Chains A and B, each alone.
Chain A
Amino acid sequence: MKALALHLALIGALLAVQVVLPPYHYTNVARVMVLAVYAMGYNIAFGYTGLLSLGHALFFAAGMYATGLAVHSAPALLALPLGMLAGAAMALAVGLLALRTAGVAFMIVTLMFAQAGYLTILYYGPVTGGDEGFVLAREARMLAGLDLSADGPRYLTALAIFGVALLANLALVRSGFGRVMVAMRENEERSRMLGYDPFRTKLIALTLSGLYSGTAGAAYALMFGYVGASFAAIQYSILPLLWVLLGGAGTVLGPFFGALLMFYLIDLSSSVTDASNLVVGVALLVLVLFAPKGILGTIRERGARWLP
């Protein structure tokens, strides 16, 4: 009950805070909420199931391109779920092959799939816009009457998607299946001996992770009006890993706080130095040395053991 109240309080706080957020931060927080959905998806695979993937940009981009391309000829209300499904389907397809491997091999195989996806986007330039990408017309970004190019509807839509994703994530990790996911992370062999099917569990977890990633990609395209190959590149596979590590792997709220902190770390540091990436690197080193379980993970370790 305490956990549910905390998560509802965050959603409520994000609803309330929009009244006082200055315009720049108003859009930023909307952006962070969408990216946090992506990070939550990554966390389902990595933080809870122990699948260290380096290819999640492929799932994010699958959602983004499916929605971005579909919206040329279909309403956004149809294109959005199509993008969500594309992310899940891509993760399922990759999982069927990549989950035959584990550990470092899994990282490399997922990285290779993502790289193949990135190059495919570049090669089919006439359809995908290649490295330049393409913009979505304002009319195409009307979601059930909401103009997603306007700040208010965009924020509320981002909050709605984030809220549903957060509560579903909470329900997932507190469910029986969520515990099996954690069991796979902690000791796959013992779980197998207890009668659980590791391949099936990991495949479902990865597909759910893809669903979250695809949802984030699809929402990002509609909210910010741009679809581009750079979102399929390697750095967009690394970023959710960093957000999750910063916020706390295996915590439901960690991905949001990780994405939020990383966003502002880059935003503030890039205004004062060319070496903003160095600042991020140093921050991560400090984190690994002094709080290896991330912000929420450390809080959980030091008292709030009820944190999911």
Chain B
Amino acid sequence: MKPQMINATPSRRSVLKGLTAGGALAVGGFPGFLQAQSSAPIKLGFQLHRTGIGAAYGRWYERTTQAALKRLNEAGGINGRPVEVIFEDDGTDPKRGSEVVEKLASQHGCDAIFGPLFSHVVIGSAPRAGELKVPYLVCSEGFHVASGMLNRWTLQPGITDVRAQVTAMAPWVTQTLGKKVTMVFPDYAFGHDHRDFFTAAVEAQGGEVIAQLAIPPTETSFTRYFPRIPAETEVLYHVMVGPAVLTFVKELGEFYGSGEKPQIFGFIDSLEAVDLASPGLEFLEGTHFWEGQCRTQQPDATEAEIAYRAAVGVDANGASVADPKDISTYSHMFSCWETLFILKAGMEAAGYQSTADRKKLVEAIEAMTTMSAGTEHPQGDKRFNGKTHQVFGHQFISRVEGGKLIRVHTTSLEDGMYDDMVDYTTQSF
């Protein structure tokens, strides 16, 4: 037998453990709240954009998650254990995001963390999640997961990424609306993803992007950009986010007035949490939008989708049932609901008991392939690629009719798929 070295110097952790144990004994033996491992609640951390630029999304992400949590616990929780979700505001800031990951994992002892949307927050936080070895499930639609930039612990199983979204829609846009496209997008990474992937997808369909108008992120008025839209443009593709979105859309309407205009195709990101009936948006009548999930309840809505809408508190127009002016971020927020149920499925498949099983949880999610539409996936069925940690779902194209978004096309799962750029399963934990 090999002799073991006994280290006389206590390590930081051993001292910490000793002090903790001593403290527990000092206050009168073992506290009464200690429970058997199997009945203690599973703790999940939610990294929430409660303040900052993502606050409109954060408000609805929290409501959606609370509704999903209620449903989950009513149905018996995970592995028979109740589930608790701890929300922490990251201010939509990458530095704070990283600190929040730390807080949720180390201070609250969460089993897994999920929920962030904004790409820079995800990219800023993912390294810390990897270091802490905590499963980090993002609801971001950014291409950064499947691009291979992140790590084994970061997954996006609840929402399709932007590359797949634009790739899936390009065939319908070029075949139905026109082949000569002008793109208007914000001049930073989110806009560049649209520029690069949509341009490539349009060209693959025999179309052509004839102009690309990049709008600087500090811009507050857009009128000087619109004259640069070529007259021969058949489709104007726009995607804007941030506080100036409403101004952008209104000024676009003023630019074209009642005159002739190209077909207009926009990402609903431009108008998430914005009422289509807002003054100045009348010109959007007859234009088309991408939607991740249809804001207006469609006549063929599934029972699962109707139940989801009711559980979250969203009416048939996509607004809060408590306040018709409070418009939801319907195209994105389903990802929180679905991610929570993916955590349930993953934990149950992994036989998850404690944080020691986090690796098993990641491996269980990586092993997932198809996700069937239903209560747990109200947006629709999906296919998960365990190698790239990215899910692929259906995308919807809707037309504005009478101030409502009416679905005119649904893409197939295959429409958005692309070659793998990474195999996370080959990376070590």
A231 vs B97: C-alpha distance when bound (angstroms): 13
The residue on A at minimum CB distance from B19 is A20
Chain A interface main SS type = helix
A229 vs B216: C-alpha distance when bound (angstroms): 14
Q: Interface on B for A, CB 8 Å cutoff?
A: 10, 12, 15-16, 19, 50-51, 88-89, 91, 93-96, 98-99, 102-103, 106-107, 119-120, 123-124, 126-128, 130-131, 142, 144, 149-150, 187-190, 192, 216-218
The residue on B at minimum CB distance from A123 is B187
A228 vs B103: C-alpha distance when bound (angstroms): 21
For chain A, residues 97 to 132, give those with C-beta under 8 angstroms from any C-beta of chain B.
119, 122-123, 125, 129-132
List, in ascending order, chain B residues with CB within 8 A of A131's CB. 119-120, 188-190, 217
Give the number of chain A interface residues (Cβ < 8 Å).
40
User: What distance in Å separates the Cβ of A33 from its nearest Cβ neighbour in chain B?
Assistant: 14
Chain B interface main SS type = helix
List, in ascending order, chain B residues with CB within 8 A of A26's CB. 12
List, in ascending order, chain B residues with CB within 8 A of A228's CB. 94, 120, 123-124
**Contact present for B189 and A19 (CB under 8 Å):** no
A31: Cβ under 8 A from any B Cβ: yes
A133: Cβ under 8 A from any B Cβ: yes
**Contact present for A135 and B127 (CB under 8 Å):** yes
Instruction: Kindly count the residue-residue contacts between A and B in the assembled complex, taking CB atoms under 8 Å apart.
Output: 105
List, in ascending order, chain A residues with CB within 8 A of B127's CB. 135-136, 149, 224-226
Q: Can you identify 17 A-B contacts, CB atoms within 8 angstroms? A: A19-B16, A20-B16, A31-B99, A119-B216, A122-B187, A122-B188, A125-B189, A129-B123, A130-B188, A131-B120, A132-B190, A138-B130, A226-B94, A226-B98, A228-B124, A231-B95, A270-B89
Q: Interface on A for B, CB 8 Å cutoff?
A: 18-20, 22-24, 26-28, 31, 119, 122-123, 125, 129-136, 138, 149-150, 152, 224-226, 228-231, 266-267, 270-271, 274, 276-277
**Contact present for A149 and B16 (CB under 8 Å):** no
User: What distance in Å separates the Cβ of A191 from its nearest Cβ neighbour in chain B?
Assistant: 38
A19 vs B18: C-alpha distance when bound (angstroms): 11
User: What distance in Å separates the Cβ of B212 from its nearest Cβ neighbour in chain A?
Assistant: 14
- Given pairs A135-B149, A230-B95, 13 additional interface contacts (CB within 8 A): A19-B15, A20-B15, A24-B102, A27-B102, A122-B217, A129-B189, A131-B119, A132-B188, A132-B190, A149-B127, A228-B94, A230-B120, A276-B91
User: What distance in Å separates the Cβ of B149 from its nearest Cβ neighbour in chain A?
Assistant: 6
User: What distance in Å separates the Cβ of A120 from its nearest Cβ neighbour in chain B?
Assistant: 12
**Contact present for B99 and A267 (CB under 8 Å):** yes
List, in ascending order, chain B residues with CB within 8 A of A271's CB. 88
User: What distance in Å separates the Cβ of A295 from its nearest Cβ neighbour in chain B?
Assistant: 23
A229 vs B10: C-alpha distance when bound (angstroms): 41
